[in-house]
């Protein structure tokens, strides 16, 4: 079996696996964290410790996607509402009973050197394996000059990181807010301030929705709401992009704990491929409980085994350099859509998607005869529908009528007139049809040899001083 | 008489509890989300009324239930009863692409019912399509689905329409002839009340059965729509079939649905193997018959009932006697019936009796269910309306008969298909009548 243990992360944090609980309600108290460790979590970042707060009810809201609950999740909860003493006493007990698991103290206090020095010392005395500076919380705390109010100003981030490093003996991670135009500006500041590592991303400013009966946004606190922090599966692409930006920037790159929409081992593998040394999970645990870590561990191990990776380090960061600036992409790489007639079920979503949302090159003309070329040569989707609505249909009441069902005729499972055809002379290889097709591997994008040598935009325009004629673009 | 509901009958409800109960709101939303939203969807093409199925389903998913019902009603004014009675396995759900995706087809019928039930519960009226005052008067003869559809479509476009029905309640087979576990008579009447509230006039107890009656109609109305359906059940043509204890399938179904037949005992023999025969056999079981035989002179593979109806009958405990022909029925001293039958074999399409294969079945009720005969007598009264093989001949797209003031649709034209076919005929014909009237006005 591959070894998924984490050693010396950010200069000295060890854990049984890369799966940590993020600083959030699942790490509210020692009892929870010990149960999480029993379930298999490698580490936990304690719910942010600081001067205790008063929270509101309600606190959470979410966005469902079709029948699936919690595609995106939002909260307006503040940091821990428990005393520093209670939190640190329990932390000491957790560390005593679970020496092999990583316990990170998430900290947030007033922006004052002595106050930070004091909390750092107390957390380390309690046995924290590392510190995570919460410069990301986007709601409530930021109004009091903490959280993202610090993380949105590189100078503050650098300064407070520096204060902490003056005192800390354990690794210091700075947790970054995504609510900034370029996350690298703050990542660089943290690095200049001496941070040993980064955690990214914190939640994204959000209003998840508005109750259409009361007109109050969710979550409703006595007729008013407040912008909250968005997380869950919906934010993963945003988080992956920011992680990649940080890890590809030499002035930002540090050991990084990836956060943002991670719920499965697949998500975790993607974050690690973009350079995350560990990953942190919250929303998926709030949805399903600590037990999800079992499949995350097994799935990651099985995937690593199938790919021949013995350790996390072997694949950490492999995909960072697979992201390039657009100007470095090969303009002469050409692919077209191919439809597998044996797999096509005849939903014709690719046809309407191509006509209305792409380049009008998927047609329903297998019976009437293929026509290649511009849009004017083909009947429009609306004309097709009018034809159907005008047709006479009746219930096949006799067996003979039922046997004459047209669906059973033709060489493919789907009647030929419903299997779309790609005009490859017009196809721009945009992928849209393959994305809307509900059948796996029915539409594949196939490389077409055009005999042209690779050429990037930068190469094509080298030596030119102004923009040249643009290629076809989706704008 | 009116379209008011029948009194609620608890015993009937319990014995004929719905085969397919409605979806709970969340289940409907989940099912609606499963729909792929096919382009130019095969389900829509398969529906004789071409309901925009993905369109109404996506409206359920978004929570726009009123819009969903409107989408259905625009194509099919009897969307509520069709959701319950349509043989969807051979129509929309049979055409669903999910079959080829190795998944269960979308439960279109239950979703349609969900939207329509919400609409009926809201008590909202069906909006007009146009509000131009129109001086057009149309009589629809027969109060079944074809006439209801034709009348509603015309009324939505501001024609004056009257439905002439010989029975006490409207709806034809929708009210009197559909198995109660599929469509309750009360639900049929509720739907028809919606049409009445649109301003369609109903005249009950009216038989249009003489040339004079047609002349009176012609003086009152500009056009006549014939939605007369089929006539009486066909007779077996065997000795004894007028005895007490012989009751045809439609009579049996109408009697229990209106509360006149509440119990059946002993052994029941149903003759025939169509969908109505199955409905009657199942009804006999639910009304209390211990043994129900369905007797058919041909084989299992020849039966005209839908496969799902056959399966359902087996689950209800109906026993099937294949290749057996009734010869005569007698009444015994104890009041029971003796049905003489013979085993037959099929040679090409001919049936030959097998020697020494006669046997007699003792039963308490004999139910002929071998189809309805066309209303030829009535039809022949109509001058200039061509009738062929007992069916009114029409131009398929318009429903116009050889007499340009007479249009027709439904069973009297197609020989007996489904409710949805009658609705489609009625709708197409209504639009054709409007066109004809407009052309005449401009001439």
Kindly determine whether residue B90 and residue A407, on different chains, have CB atoms separated by under 8 Å.
Answer: no
Kindly determine whether residue B39 and residue A381, on different chains, have CB atoms separated by under 8 Å.
Answer: yes
Distance from CA of A395 to the nearest CA of B (A): 7
Lowest mean pLDDT among A96-105, A148-157, A389-398, B178-187: A389-398
Better pLDDT: A116 or B375 = A116
Distance from CA of A222 to the nearest CA of B (A): 26
Q: What SS3 class is residue B315? A: helix
> Least CB-CB distance to A384: which of B40, B46, B421?
B40
Q: Nearest residue on chain A to B398, judged by CA atoms?
A: A392
Q: What SS3 class is residue B8? A: coil
Both structure tokens of B343 = 């085993």
Q: Nearest residue on chain A to B92, judged by CA atoms?
A: A395
B27 in A contact zone (CB under 8 Å): no
How far is it, in rounded angstroms, from Cα B408 to Cα B379? Answer: 11
For chain B, list residues with pLDDT below 70: 1-5, 131, 133, 376-379
Place of tokens 């009658």: B422
The pLDDT tens digits of the residues spanning A381-412 come to: 999 999 999 999 999 887 777 766 555 557 89
| Residue A67, pLDDT score | 83
Catalytic site residue A350? no
Q: At a CB cut-off of 8 Å and minimum separation 6, what does A153 contact?
A: none
> Least CB-CB distance to B50: which of A67, A389, A407?
A389
Pairing mode of beta strands B406-408, B223-226 = parallel
Which helix (H) or strand (E) segment holds residue B434: the answer is: helix B419-442
B364 in A contact zone (CB under 8 Å): no
C-alpha distances out from residue B89 to A38, A418, B92, Å: 52, 20, 7
Chain A interface, best mutation among B25, B35, B39, B398, by max A CB count within 10 A: B39
Pairing mode of beta strands A172-175, A19-21 = unpaired
Is B414 within 8 Å of A392 (Cβ atoms)?
A: no
Residue A466 has pLDDT above 90, yes or no: no
B431 in A contact zone (CB under 8 Å): no
If you average pLDDT over residues A81-93, what whole number do you get? Answer: 98
| Residue A398, pLDDT score | 76
| Residue A147, pLDDT score | 86
B109 in A contact zone (CB under 8 Å): no
Residue A259 has pLDDT above 90, yes or no: yes
| Residue B208, pLDDT score | 86
The model carries a pTM of 0.92
Domains B137-231+373-441 and B249-368 share a fold: yes
How far is it, in rounded angstroms, from Cα B342 to Cα B438? Answer: 60
**CATH 3.50.50.60 is held by the domain B137-231+373-441:** yes
The pLDDT tens digits of the residues spanning A281-312 come to: 999 999 999 999 999 999 999 999 999 999 99
| Residue A176, pLDDT score | 97
| Residue A138, pLDDT score | 82
Is B161 within 8 Å of B200 (Cβ atoms)?
A: yes
Better pLDDT: A267 or A148 = A267
Distance from CA of B88 to the nearest CA of A (A): 9
Both structure tokens of A211 = 């109750």
Distance from CA of A108 to the nearest CA of B (A): 42
Highest mean pLDDT among A187-191, A462-466, B373-377: A187-191
Q: What's the CATH superfamily of B249-368?
A: FAD/NAD(P)-binding domain (3.50.50.60)
Residue A472 has pLDDT above 70, yes or no: no
Nearest to B409 by CA among A180, A394, A311: A394
pLDDT confidence bin for A474, thresholds 50/70/90: very low
Q: In CATH, which of 1.10.1060.10, 3.40.50.80, 1.10.1370.40, 3.40.190.10 is domain B19-122?
A: 1.10.1060.10
Pairing mode of beta strands A276-281, A19-21 = parallel
> Least CB-CB distance to A394: which of B34, B48, B302?
B48
User: What would the 3-class secondary structure string for chain A be?
Assistant: CCECCEEEECCCEEECCCEEECCCHHHCCHHHHHHHHHHCCCEEEEEEECCCCCCCCCCEEEEEECCEEEEEEEECCCCCCCCHHHHHHHHHHHHHHCCCCEEEEEECCCCCHHHHHHHHHHHHHCCCCEEEEECCCCCCHHHHCCCHHHHCCHHHHHHHHHHHHHHCCCCEEEECCCCCCCHHHHHHHHHHCCCCEEEECCCEEECCCECCCCCCECCCECCECCCEEEECHHHHHHHHHHHHHHHCCCCCCCCEEEECCCCCHHHHHHHHHCCEEEEEECHHHHHHCHHHHHHHHHHHHHHHHHHCCCEHHHCCCCCHHHCCCHHHCECCCCEEEEECCCCCCCCCHHHHHHHHHCCCCEECCCCCCCCCCCHHHCCCHHHHHHHHHHCCCCCCCCHHHHHCCHHHCCCCCCCHHHCCEECCCCCCCCCHHHHHCCCCCCEEEEECCCCCCCCEHHHHCCCCCCCCCCCCCCC
Which long-range contacts link A309-317 to residues 24+ away (Cβ below 8 Å)? A309/A2, A310/A2, A310/A3, A311/A2, A311/A3, A311/A4, A312/A4, A312/A6, A312/A18, A312/A272, A312/A277, A315/A269, A315/A272, A315/A273, A316/A272, A316/A273, A316/A275, A316/A276, A316/A277, A317/A247, A317/A272, A317/A273, A317/A274, A317/A275
Which helix (H) or strand (E) segment holds residue B46: the answer is: helix B42-46
> Least CB-CB distance to A347: which of B86, B97, B418?
B97
Is A53 within 8 Å of A143 (Cβ atoms)?
A: no
| Residue A475, pLDDT score | 41
How far is it, in rounded angstroms, from Cα B329 to Cα B411? Answer: 31
Chain A interface, best mutation among B100, B306, B423, by max A CB count within 10 A: B100
Q: Nearest residue on chain B to A389, judged by CA atoms?
A: B50
Report phi then psi at A89, rounded to 5: -65, -45
Sorted by where each begins, the domain ranges of chain B are: 19-122, 137-231+373-441, 249-368
The pLDDT tens digits of the residues spanning A209-253 come to: 999 999 999 999 999 999 999 999 999 999 999 999 999 999 999
How far is it, in rounded angstroms, from Cα A31 to Cα A87? Answer: 11
| Residue B305, pLDDT score | 94
């Amino acid at each position: 079996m591959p070894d998924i243990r984490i050693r010396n992360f950010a200069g000295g944090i060890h854990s049984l696996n890369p799966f940590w609980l993020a600083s959030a309600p699942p790490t509210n108290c020692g009892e929870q964290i010990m149960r999480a460790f029993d379930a298999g979590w490698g580490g936990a970042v304690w719910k942010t410790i600081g001067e205790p707060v008063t929270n509101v009810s309600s606190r959470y809201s979410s966005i469902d996607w079709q029948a699936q609950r919690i595609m995106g999740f939002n909260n307006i909860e503040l940091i821990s509402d428990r005393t520093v003493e209670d939190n640190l006493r329990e932390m000491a007990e957790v560390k005593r009973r679970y020496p092999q698991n990583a316990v990170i103290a998430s900290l947030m206090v007033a922006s004052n050197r002595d106050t930070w020095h004091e909390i750092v010392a107390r957390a380390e005395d309690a046995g924290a394996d590392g510190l995570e500076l919460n410069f990301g919380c986007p709601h409530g705390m930021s109004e009091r000059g903490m959280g993202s109010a610090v993380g949105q100003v590189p100078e503050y981030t650098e300064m407070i990181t520096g204060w902490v490093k003056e005192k800390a003996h354990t690794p210091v991670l700075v947790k970054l807010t995504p609510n900034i135009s370029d996350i690298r500006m703050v990542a660089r500041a943290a690095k200049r301030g001496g941070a040993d590592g980064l955690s990214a991303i914190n939640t994204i400013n959000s209003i998840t929705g508005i109750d259409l009966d009361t007109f109050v946004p969710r979550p409703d606190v006595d007729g008013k709401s407040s912008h909250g922090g968005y997380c869950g599966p919906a934010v993963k692409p945003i988080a992956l992009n920011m992680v990649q930006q940080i890890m590809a920037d030499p002035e930002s790159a540090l050991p990084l704990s990836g956060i943002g929409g991670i719920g499965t081992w697949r998500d975790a593998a993607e974050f690690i491929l973009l350079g995350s040394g560990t990953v942190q999970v919250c929303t998926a645990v709030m949805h399903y409980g600590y037990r999800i870590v079992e499949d995350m561990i097994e799935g990651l191990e099985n995937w690593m085994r199938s790919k021949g990776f013995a350790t996390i380090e072997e694949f950490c960061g492999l995909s960072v350099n697979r992201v390039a600036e657009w100007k470095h992409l090969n303009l002469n790489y050409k692919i077209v859509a191919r439809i597998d007639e044996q797999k096509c079920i005849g939903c014709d979503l690719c046809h309407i998607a191509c006509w209305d949302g792409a380049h009008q090159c998927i047609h329903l003309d297998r019976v009437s005869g293929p026509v290649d070329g511009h849009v004017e040569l083909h009947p429009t989707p609306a004309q097709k529908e009018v034809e159907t609505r005008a047709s006479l249909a009746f219930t096949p009441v006799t067996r003979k009528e039922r046997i004459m069902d047209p669906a059973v005729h033709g060489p493919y499972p789907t009647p030929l007139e419903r299997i779309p055809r790609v005009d490859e002379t017009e196809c721009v290889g945009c992928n849209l049809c393959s994305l809307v097709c509900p059948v796996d591997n029915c539409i594949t994008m196939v490389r077409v040899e055009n005999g042209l040598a690779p050429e990037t935009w930068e190469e094509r325009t080298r030596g030119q001083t102004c923009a040249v004629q643009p290629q076809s673009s989706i704008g | 008489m009116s379209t008011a509901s029948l009194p609620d009958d608890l015993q009937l409800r319990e014995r004929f509890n719905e085969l397919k109960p409605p979806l709970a709101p969340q289940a409907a939303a989940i099912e609606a989300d499963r729909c792929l939203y096919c382009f130019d969807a095969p389900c829509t093409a398969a529906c004789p009324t071409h309901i925009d199925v993905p369109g109404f389903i996506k409206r359920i998913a978004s929570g726009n239930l009123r819009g969903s019902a409107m989408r259905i009603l625009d194509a099919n004014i009897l969307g509520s009863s069709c959701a319950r009675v349509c043989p969807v396995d051979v129509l929309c759900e049979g055409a669903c692409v999910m079959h080829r995706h190795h998944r269960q087809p979308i439960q279109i019928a239950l979703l349609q019912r969900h939207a329509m039930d919400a609409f009926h519960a809201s008590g909202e009226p069906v909006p007009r399509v146009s509000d131009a005052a129109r001086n057009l008067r149309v009589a629809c003869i027969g109060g079944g689905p074809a006439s209801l559809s034709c009348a509603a479509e015309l009324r939505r476009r501001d024609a004056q329409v009257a439905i002439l029905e010989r029975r006490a309640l409207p709806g034809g087979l929708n009210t009197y002839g559909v198995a109660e576990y599929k469509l309750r008579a009360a639900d049929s009447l509720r739907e028809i009340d919606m049409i009445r509230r649109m301003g369609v006039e109903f005249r009950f107890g009216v038989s249009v059965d003489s040339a004079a009656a047609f002349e009176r109609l012609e003086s009152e109305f500009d056009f006549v729509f014939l939605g007369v359906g089929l006539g009486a059940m066909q007779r077996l043509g065997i000795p004894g079939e007028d005895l007490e204890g012989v009751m045809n399938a439609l009579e049996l179904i109408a009697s229990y649905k209106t509360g006149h037949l509440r119990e059946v005992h002993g052994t029941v023999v149903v003759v025939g193997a169509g969908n109505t025969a199955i409905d009657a056999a199942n009804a006999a079981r639910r009304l209390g018959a211990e043994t129900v035989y369905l007797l058919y002179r041909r084989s299992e593979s020849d039966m005209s009932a839908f496969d799902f109806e056959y399966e359902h009958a087996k689950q209800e405990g109906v026993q099937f006697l294949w290749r057996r022909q009734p010869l005569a029925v007698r009444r015994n001293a104890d009041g029971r019936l003796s049905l003489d039958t013979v085993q037959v074999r099929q040679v090409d399409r001919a049936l030959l009796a097998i020697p020494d294969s006669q046997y007699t079945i003792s039963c308490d009720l004999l139910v002929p269910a071998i189809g309805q005969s066309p209303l030829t007598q009535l039809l022949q009264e109509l001058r200039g309306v061509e009738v062929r093989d007992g069916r009114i001949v029409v131009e398929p797209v318009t429903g116009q008969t050889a007499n340009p003031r007479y249009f027709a649709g439904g069973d009297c034209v197609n020989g007996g298909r489904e409710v949805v076919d009658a609705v489609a005929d009625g709708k197409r014909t209504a639009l054709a009548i409007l066109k004809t009237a407009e052309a005449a006005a401009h001439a």
